[in-house]
């Protein structure tokens, strides 16, 4: 079925909600904004941070960039590790690799952080490459990340490639690049959000995802 599989990171491979929301909470406090309910900050998981600061708190471009800088103060020291791999993910990745599938990460998170997280959880051994955004804020749109990832895969027919992610940005980005996409409902995107973007497949568990990708 698919020979190469691109995986989103947050909400697809790892449950990073706590670290991300606490990093956002820390950044907001620097602006005098007290948000004690971390659940309200869950929409920050997945999309580019500058967009989220602007969308949810009406930050200006300059404020959003400053917010990202504050976010990284906490995230680098603590938030990156307030994270856990979803149960069944290592086993699924190992099985897919044993089947000869080529696995790659495609995330809007800066690659500087993504590579550290993958190494921290010993997931890096399953992937031949990882693509992400840059620390200077460039290449943060998911479509741009996927386009960059495809530069590693020029010899692979598009119908042999698939993107796996948990937010609408993953679906939209994959479609812009002509790829099939599998949406996972165990992450941070609501069922309504995912269905509205009409992914090729929608799965509800890691087990179901593994079965589909093994075909």
Contact 11, 45 (CB under 8 A): yes
Encoded tokens for 112: 């500087």
34 is catalytic: no
Length of the chain as a residue count: 215
DSSP 3-state of 133: strand
Neighbouring residues of 17: CB distance < 8 A, sequence distance ≥ 6: 11, 38, 42, 45, 188
Positive or negative, the CA dihedral 178, 184, 188, 193 is: positive
Contact 94, 128 (CB under 8 A): no
The residues carrying an active-site annotation are 8
């Amino acid at each position: 079925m698919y020979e190469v599989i691109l995986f989103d990171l947050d909400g697809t491979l790892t449950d990073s909600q706590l670290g991300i929301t606490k990093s956002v909470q820390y950044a907001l406090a620097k602006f005098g904004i007290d948000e004690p309910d971390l659940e309200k900050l869950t929409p920050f998981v997945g999309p580019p941070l500058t967009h989220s600061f602007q969308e949810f708190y009406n930050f200006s471009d300059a404020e959003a960039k400053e917010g990202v800088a504050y976010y990284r103060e906490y995230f680098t020291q603590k938030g990156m590790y307030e994270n856990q791999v979803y149960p069944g993910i290592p086993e699924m990745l190992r099985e897919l690799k044993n089947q000869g599938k080529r696995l790659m990460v495609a995330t809007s998170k800066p690659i500087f952080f993504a590579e550290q997280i993958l190494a921290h959880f010993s997931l890096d051994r399953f992937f031949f490459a990882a693509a992400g955004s840059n620390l200077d804020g460039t290449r943060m749109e998911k479509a741009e990340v996927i386009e960059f990832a495809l530069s590693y895969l020029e010899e692979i027919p598009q119908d042999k490639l698939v993107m796996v992610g948990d937010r609408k940005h993953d679906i939209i980005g994959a479609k812009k690049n002509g790829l099939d996409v599998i949406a996972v409902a165990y992450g941070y995107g609501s069922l309504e959000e995912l269905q509205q973007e009409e992914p090729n497949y929608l799965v509800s568990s890691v087990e179901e995802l593994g079965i589909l990708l093994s075909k």
